[in-house]
């Protein structure tokens, strides 16, 4: 009988320990989604943010502070950011803190200290589901490592609505991945923005810029297997193919200048990989090169497209959504490169099976539901391109989920026909 009591006693201790451990884990993994980022500033600064249009500027003199999860953080810089979103009341922000905030990153099972981040207002993102869902699809295939979550932003405790928090990609790749350089590609494969590791000399910076430019000289000089092998010395092609595979799946209408190239070491040599950006033009009816003659790059001569038929007449019927940039155009035109891309496309679609797509959309719905339960937050959507509500949100989740599933299955069927 004594042994039986001892056994029951130890079992009880184990149960209590298990419960206590779970409780501690909950405390260690806060739900940032339920916390707001509350910026404190002068009332005149707040009024200016609401009223000004088309101007990118710093909110300064004085610099605002941030209240987050019970702590106050001083800011080094708060910049009104974006291009077209500058014309809306709900502005996007680029934040540089005076100190770093530790965030628990569940995928890494550890915390990461973040000093710089973006807050996207999602004014074009109907019901706020598209950018976040796309980011998680990119994450599933290894192309979205930055810390990201949906949140409420406030100014002087006045709600600004739903925002997407994104760890600054330049800070992430330089500090966490030890990248030597990160380049934001612009139109005509220009340098829209460049950030170098502080350890780099001016000469080294120019070497990396030349290495990026070499991608575009090589696609003119070489073809076939020789081109493929040459590009591998400067660009992780599997990585790039993966990126444009998701663009094809999601019908990303604008990605010519919405992409970062960051350096990484592979087999002892630094080459470029890519990171997607500004995912605010998804599920487009057609790619941006149609009817936008100024935007089409011209290493292979003047290219003009007024319809999809014009594109088919140039490159044939290809499973690439956009050929606006010369690199994508070359992939579509070169038989060897295109076949290698198709292998990656097939692999990506097999990885993103229907169950995975279902779970990613469920996560989006779960993360947004608390906001849709708050009328004051959702009321801010009246300042966006299109206002939203709970019914529209649920309908759009269901519609876009089915669209992605159907498009995935259609693409797999098209790939099957090619074999």
pLDDT of residue 13: 40
Burial of 47 (0-12, 13-18, 19+ CB in 10 A): exposed
The token pair that represents 389 in the structure block: 């509500």
pTM, to two decimals: 0.91
Bridge partners (DSSP) of residue 74 are 65
Q: How far is it, in rounded angstroms, from Cα 90 to Cα 123? A: 7
pLDDT of residue 314: 98
The token pair that represents 393 in the structure block: 């949100």
Range of the domain at 275: 172-351
3-state secondary structure 263-324: EEEECCEEEEEEEECCCCCCCCCCCCCECCHHHCCCCCCCCCECCHHHHHHHHCCCCCCCCC
Q: How far is it, in rounded angstroms, from Cα 115 to Cα 95? A: 8
Is position 264 within any domain?
yes
pLDDT of residue 109: 86
Per-residue CA distances from 144 to 107, 132, 150, 253, 277 (Å): 11, 11, 15, 19, 10
User: How confident is the prediction along the chain (419 residues), in pLDDT tens digits per residue?
Assistant: 444 444 444 444 444 334 433 333 332 356 888 889 999 999 999 999 999 999 999 999 999 999 999 999 999 999 999 878 899 999 999 999 999 999 999 888 889 999 999 999 999 999 999 999 999 999 999 999 999 999 999 999 999 999 999 999 999 999 999 999 999 999 999 999 999 999 999 999 999 999 999 999 999 999 999 999 999 999 999 999 999 999 999 999 888 889 999 999 988 899 999 999 999 899 999 999 999 999 999 999 999 999 999 999 999 999 999 999 999 999 999 999 999 999 999 999 999 999 999 999 999 999 999 999 999 999 999 999 999 999 999 999 999 999 999 999 999 999 999 98
Q: How far is it, in rounded angstroms, from Cα 152 to Cα 96? A: 18
> Pairing state of beta strands 181-185 and 110-120?
unpaired
Is position 158 within any domain?
no
Q: How far is it, in rounded angstroms, from Cα 133 to Cα 368? A: 11
Pick from 170, 149, 153, 169: which is nearest to 161 by CA? Answer: 153
Is position 50 within any domain?
no
Count of C-beta atoms within a 10 Å radius of residue 369: 13
pLDDT of residue 29: 53
Is position 53 within any domain?
no
Q: How far is it, in rounded angstroms, from Cα 83 to Cα 258? A: 12
Is position 243 within any domain?
yes
State the total domains in the chain.
1
Q: How far is it, in rounded angstroms, from Cα 214 to Cα 159? A: 47
Q: How far is it, in rounded angstroms, from Cα 162 to Cα 152? A: 5
Is position 189 within any domain?
yes
Is position 78 within any domain?
no
Is position 223 within any domain?
yes
């Amino acid at each position: 009988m004594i042994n039986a009591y001892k056994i029951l006693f130890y079992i009880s201790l184990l149960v209590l320990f298990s419960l206590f451990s779970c409780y501690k884990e909950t405390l260690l993994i806060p739900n940032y989604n339920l916390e707001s980022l509350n910026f404190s500033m002068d009332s005149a600064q707040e009024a200016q943010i609401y009223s000004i249009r088309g101007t990118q500027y710093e909110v300064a003199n004085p610099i605002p502070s941030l209240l987050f999860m019970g702590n106050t953080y001083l800011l080094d810089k708060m910049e009104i950011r974006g291009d077209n979103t500058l014309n809306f009341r709900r502005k996007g922000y680029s934040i540089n803190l005076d100190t770093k905030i530790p965030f628990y990153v569940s995928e890494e099972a550890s915390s990461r200290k973040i000093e710089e981040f973006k807050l996207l207002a999602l004014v074009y993102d109907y019901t706020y589901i598209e950018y976040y869902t796309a980011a998680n699809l990119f994450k599933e295939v290894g192309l979205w490592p930055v810390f990201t979550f949906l949140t409420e932003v406030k100014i002087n405790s006045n709600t600004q609505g739903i925002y997407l928090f994104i760890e600054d990609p330049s800070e992430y790749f330089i500090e966490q991945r030890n990248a030597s350089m990160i380049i934001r590609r612009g139109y005509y494969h220009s340098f829209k923005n460049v950030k170098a590791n502080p350890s780099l000399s001016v000469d080294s910076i120019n070497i990396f810029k030349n290495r990026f430019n070499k991608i575009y000289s090589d696609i003119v000089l070489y073809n076939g297997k020789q081109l493929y092998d040459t590009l591998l010395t400067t660009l992780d092609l599997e990585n790039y193919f993966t990126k444009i595979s998701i663009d094809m799946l999601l019908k990303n209408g604008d990605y010519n200048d919405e992409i970062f190239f960051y350096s990484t070491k592979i087999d002892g040599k630094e080459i470029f990989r890519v990171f997607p950006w500004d995912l605010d033009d998804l599920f487009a009816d057609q790619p941006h090169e149609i009817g936008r003659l100024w935007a089409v790059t011209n290493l292979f001569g003047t290219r003009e497209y007024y319809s999809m038929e014009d594109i088919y007449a140039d490159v044939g019927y290809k499973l690439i959504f956009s050929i606006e940039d010369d690199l994508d155009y070359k992939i579509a035109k070169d038989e060897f490169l295109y076949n290698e891309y198709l292998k990656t496309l097939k692999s990506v679609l097999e990885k993103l099976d229907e169950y995975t797509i279902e779970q990613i959309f469920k996560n989006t719905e779960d993360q947004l539901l608390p906001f849709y339960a708050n009328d004051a937050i959702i009321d801010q959507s009246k300042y966006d391109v299109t206002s939203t509500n709970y019914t529209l949100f649920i309908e759009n989740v269901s519609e876009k989920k089915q669209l992605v599933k159907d498009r995935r299955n259609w693409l797999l069927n098209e790939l099957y026909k090619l074999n």
